[in-house]
Chains A and B, each alone.
Chain A
Amino acid sequence: AQSVAQPEDQVNVAEGNPLTVKCTYSVSGNPYLFWYVQYPNRGLQFLLKYITGDNLVKGSYGFEAEFNKSQTSFHLKKPSALVSDSALYFCAVDDYKLSFGAGTTVTVRA
């Protein structure tokens, strides 16, 4: 079965600093990986996806993620975090249905 893991429950950064949210995957074959963000009592908003092609994927709101096959990782990054980036972030793998990581709560302090 395909799965993703988010090793950090929480990430705290100061506004303006780089933000990284970690994700590792375990799949057979080519992975189809997604990042979503969730604000309180809301559904999930799509940030970006990796299907094939360039290992560096650029997404919404200034986020990007790097697909690393040797490390089986798909970390989400943002060069300069904003307070409004504070939310719950999910990594997911698609095996004709999405399986989500446990989620990482990001808090950006002013």
Chain B
Amino acid sequence: GAVVSQHPSRVICKSGTSVKIECRSLDFQATTMFWYRQFPKQSLMLMATSNEGSKATYEQGVEKDKFLINHASLTLSTLTVTSAHPEDSSFYICSAPRKTERRLANYGYTFGSGTRLTVV
């Protein structure tokens, strides 16, 4: 089945440094990648939508200069948390739609395994 590989699974960084999270679609082309943030025992909040070869679309309230998203190829999207602060500590998850046409049997979304970011 469709797999999205997300790395790293967990990272601890110092305040003020930048951290890059990668999501790769292993057996399908992900023209779109959704990036979510999740606080403990809470729901997933959509941060941004990246599309291959174009600028990402950010949800209201998300700082695009802080959360840099790059989607340079059909199999790789990255999220860089710049100048990280302790309040950026969270669980970040990526997701890619397998098919955009709902009538197709394998329509759905595949999620990465998540990245636990801790900023100290």
CB within 8 Å of B: which residues of A? 32, 34, 36, 41-46, 49, 51, 88, 90, 94, 96-103, 105
Contact = CB atoms under 8 A, between A and B. Distances in A.
Main secondary structure of the interface of A (DSSP, over half): strand
Instruction: Say what secondary structure dominates the interface of chain B.
Output: strand
B42 interface: yes
Contacts of A100: 43-44
A23 to B, nearest CB: 12
21 contacts: A32-B102, A34-B108, A34-B109, A36-B111, A41-B9, A41-B10, A41-B114, A41-B116, A43-B4, A43-B6, A43-B93, A43-B112, A44-B93, A49-B107, A51-B103, A90-B43, A96-B100, A97-B46, A97-B49, A100-B43, A103-B43
Contacts of B107: 49, 51
Interface of B: 4, 6, 9-10, 34, 41-44, 46, 49, 91, 93, 95, 100, 102-103, 107-114, 116
